Structure 1
Amino acid sequence: MYREVIFDIETKKLFDQIEDRQRIEDLGVSVVSAYRRVLDDNYKEIEGEMASFWDEGVRGRRRLGELWEWLVSADRVIGFNSIKFDAPVLNPHMEGDVMRLKHFDILEKVRGVLGHRLSLDALAKETLGETKMANGLAAVDWWQAGDEESLAKLQHYCEMDVEVTKKLYDVGLREGRLKYMSKWNEPKEIEVDFSYPKKEEEPQLGLF
């Protein structure tokens, strides 16, 4: 069995709202949505749950610190651009080192094949026929508005990003390919290997 967490973060600020763009942790974290699940050895989902974890200033919701237990117990912590963005932004808010977790960054896997970046939206549109419902600008606006309706929209947006990331990962895991549109507007397909290393079978003990 494999224990996985697919996650996405939303920030309190935009890059042009912080003094030093090299200190991306200064963007802050408003909410993290995560999907925790268990897969069998054939990559079939046995159980799963979605939850959102909030900045301490938001009352009556799961606290950001509660996420650590989910992350540290996972065989894979899956995201999109998570190694260079989500993880370092989240790191100051966790009790342990997020950078040392068992990360699986879909963007890094795609870049390793193509040699360049693709957006989550570009891959999702061609592979899944889905697009993101909004963007990071709207997410920051919702956080800064702070009312219940805006926070509900923010949570829904973040959870939908996790759902899209999960679906994209599952196609790569089970079918070994993802689709995108080239800059010349030509449909393309890339082969990816999201499989786990094969488990070594324990030697059978002889009866005699």
Structure 2
Amino acid sequence: MALITTSIYPPGGDVKTEVFWDVETKSFFDEAGSWDPADLGVSLVSVYRRGGFGEEIRSFWEKDFDELWKVFRDADRIIGFNTLGFDIPAMKPYAPADFATLPHFDILDKVKLVNFGRGASLNAIARGTLGVEKIDSGANAIAYWKKGDAASLALLRKYCEADVAITRDIYDFALKNKFLKFTDKWNNARQVEVDFTYPVETTSVKQSSLF
């Protein structure tokens, strides 16, 4: 798979279990007759998982979704791009009721927080920050699903896994360098400062009474 990089874990030697993910859908919004991602149907979910055990990438077709939930539940952080606005709602018909309450980390949401509410596409951030581009498009991913032959489904899986790898590499760059770069829709080069470090965990110790 393209774009494999050395894993970057949070500073201080605390190795977290992190899951990066992306979904592909079966149809377009106009075909579904709805603007709700939950109505699109999910064809495939790809995840890249890393932690003290090492790292792995897996893809899950709809029939295998029951195997996904333990992967997500075991994660300290579930990282994606536009997952709050798209992927999590798209998974609503399949996911346990508490799925949205798990520790999701949406890179697009973090960019909007420091960019006056304006986002950028995954491809724009990948191009500006990493000098790479997506290998295919979401429209083609839907076409591959509809064709349904082995070669098309292999292309669908390759595309989804590559998007997960790009998401991971953007996250790792930002975690290390604390900024992301992209060209906005007005063709202006932008650099935004971000902080993807984990919050410092503090424990309060109750002082014993001296009396």
TM-score calculated relative to the size of structure 1: 0.86
After TM superposition, list the pairs within 5 Å mapping 1:28-107 onto structure 2.
28-38=41-51, 47-56=54-63, 63-107=64-108
Match of 1:25 among 33, 38, 59: 38
AA aligned to 2:39 is D
Identity across matched positions, percent: 44
Unaligned segments of structure 1, at least 5 residues = 40-45, 57-62, 204-208
d(CA) in 2 for partners of 1:183 and 1:82? 21
Offset at residue 201 of structure 1 (A): 7.0
Offset at residue 119 of structure 1 (A): 0.5
Unaligned segments of structure 2, at least 5 residues = 1-14, 206-211
C-alpha RMSD over aligned residues? 1.7
Corresponding residue pairs, total:
190
2:19 is the counterpart of 1:5: yes
CA deviations on 1:115-159 (whole Å, 9 max, x unpaired) are 201100000001000111111110000000000000000000000
**Matched-pair contact (CA < 8 Å) for 1:88–1:98:** no
**Matched-pair contact (CA < 8 Å) for 1:113–1:192:** yes
Report SS of the residue matched to 1:132: coil
Report SS of the residue matched to 1:160: helix
Offset at residue 160 of structure 1 (A): 0.2
Report SS of the residue matched to 2:202: coil
Offset at residue 100 of structure 1 (A): 1.0
Report SS of the residue matched to 2:114: helix
Report SS of the residue matched to 2:167: helix
d(CA) in 1 for partners of 2:18 and 2:33? 35
d(CA) in 1 for partners of 2:204 and 2:84? 34
TM-score calculated relative to the size of structure 2: 0.85
Match of 1:144 among 143, 146, 159: 146
Segment drifting more, 12-21 vs 25-34: 12-21
**Matched-pair contact (CA < 8 Å) for 1:7–1:34:** yes
d(CA) in 1 for partners of 2:96 and 2:37? 19
Segment drifting more, 143-152 vs 188-197: 188-197
